[in-house]
């Protein structure tokens, strides 16, 4: 994907910068991990520090000192997660700010306007998201509302230079998902996202959706699976044609002492690492693995040293970006299926080693 602010190789993983910061990382460190695009959360940024302040700095890039592409979400998912204090109508979403309790309205036009003022490179349409499980009638009504909102977003976006992505909804109902995609394609978007997955459904359900949906998505447009996921889910989705991902797993789990490694998940808090001289991941070339032992990371975690969270985050992001790099190279060599098989074999081995 080519933007005025740089090129993004796909399949791509976007670290999540909720409040205009990928937690504990400087932009230079993010670039070192191989990150080419990051995600910003419209919902959080509009509440704090507020769009006016960021616009005064000339947009989110300048405010946070990241000069490469940024994708902003629409805020729809966070509003969906508020459950109690929100009301969805045809016009948009009314909710109570978790920051100061103010009543706030976010409709399709407002979501686009805010993302344009943040100066995002990829803007997402506002959509309504359903929980899992959900009955067909409710999934249908929500998908149809999302489709009408998508049309209003397209109109509101006008000729603005940022790319605009539509979001396919419809729960795990195939006919609804297909209708949603058809409707979005009729409106016409620069890219197509799959929303409303990874909301508690079994992994098989998610894979089933990808199996039929990805095949129907336009080949020349990026396909973005929102909020996913675990390394094995990324591999499964790339095999089905997905180009973009975002997820808090590498950063959040790092702060909880969980390191993703070529040999499975390492829980650095476990007492077994107290004296270990081993690198966290012997197969990893990141700054953390080159210089620090498991014993040291274990100690930092126990002592609640902020450096521990930083070193763990560096490693996890490096692991995720390296996984994407390996998949890109497997695609170029036309051996992605072999790569995926090898990946599952190693994952199964790792699981056995742990148990």
Residues carrying an active site annotation: 73, 246
Phi-psi region of 266 (alpha: psi -120 to 50; beta: other; left: phi over 0): beta
Write down how long the chain is: 355
Q: Shortest Cβ distance from residue 314 to Zn ion (Å)?
A: 7
Q: What does the binding site for Zn ion look like in residue numbers (CB under 5 A)? A: 281, 284, 286, 288-289, 315
Pairing relation of β-strands 103-106 and 93-96? antiparallel
Question: Which residue shows structure tokens 């080419």?
Answer: 36
CA distance between the termini of the chain: 42
- Angle at which helix 336-354 crosses helix 306-332, to 10 degrees, equals 140
* Helices then strands, each counted (H, E), the chain: 15, 15
Positive or negative: CA dihedral 340, 343, 348, 349: positive
Q: Which two tokens stand for residue 228?
A: 């996913």
The smaller minimum CB distance to Zn ion, of residues 177 and 315, is found at: 315
The smaller minimum CB distance to Zn ion, of residues 73 and 281, is found at: 281
Rounded CA separation 34/76 (Å): 28
The H or E element spanning position 331 is helix 306-332
Q: Shortest Cβ distance from residue 319 to Zn ion (Å)?
A: 6
Rounded CA separation 279/259 (Å): 11
The smaller minimum CB distance to Zn ion, of residues 106 and 284, is found at: 284
Contact residues for 209 (Cβ-Cβ < 8 A; gap 6+): 172, 174, 177, 194, 197
Note if the bond before 131 is cis, omega within 30 degrees: no
Residue from 72, 22, 69 nearest 45 by CA: 72
Kindly report the CA angle at 82 between 232 and 259, in degrees rounded to 5?
30
């Amino acid at each position: 994907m080519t933007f005025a602010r740089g090129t993004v190789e796909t399949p791509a993983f976007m670290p999540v910068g909720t409040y205009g910061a990928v937690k504990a990382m400087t932009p230079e460190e993010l670039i070192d991990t191989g990150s080419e695009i990051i995600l910003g959360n419209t919902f959080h940024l509009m509440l704090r520090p507020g769009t006016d302040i960021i616009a005064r700095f000339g947009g989110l890039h300048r405010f946070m000192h990241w000069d490469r592409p940024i994708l902003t979400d629409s805020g729809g998912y966070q509003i969906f997660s508020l459950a109690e204090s929100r009301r969805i109508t045809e016009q948009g979403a009314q909710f109570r700010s978790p920051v100061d309790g103010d009543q706030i309205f976010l409709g399709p036009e407002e979501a686009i306007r805010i993302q344009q003022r943040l100066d995002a490179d990829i803007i997402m349409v506002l959509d309504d998201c359903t929980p899992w499980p959900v009955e067909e009638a409710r999934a249908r009504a929500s998908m149809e509302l999302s489709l009408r909102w998508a049309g209003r977003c397209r109109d509101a976006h006008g000729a603005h230079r940022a790319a605009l992505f539509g979001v396919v909804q419809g729960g795990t109902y195939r006919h609804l998902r297909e209708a949603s995609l058809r409707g979005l394609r009729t409106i016409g978007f620069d890219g197509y996202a799959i929303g409303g997955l990874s909301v508690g459904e079994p992994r098989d359900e998610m894979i089933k959706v990808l199996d039929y949906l990805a095949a129907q998505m336009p080949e020349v447009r990026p396909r973005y699976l929102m909020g996913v996921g675990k390394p094995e889910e990324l591999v499964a989705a790339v095999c089905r044609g997905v180009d973009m991902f975002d997820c808090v797993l590498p950063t959040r789990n790092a702060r909880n002492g969980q390191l993703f490694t070529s040999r499975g998940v390492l829980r650095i808090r476990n007492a077994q690492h107290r004296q270990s001289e081993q690198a966290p991941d012997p197969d990893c070339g990141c700054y953390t693995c080159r210089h620090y032992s498991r014993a040291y990371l274990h100690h930092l975690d126990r002592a609640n040293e902020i450096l521990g969270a930083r070193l763990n985050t560096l490693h996890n992001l490096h692991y995720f970006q390296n996984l994407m790099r390996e998949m890109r190279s497997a695609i170029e060599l036309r051996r992605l299926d072999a790569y995926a098989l090898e990946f599952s074999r190693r994952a199964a081995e790792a699981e056995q080693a742990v148990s």
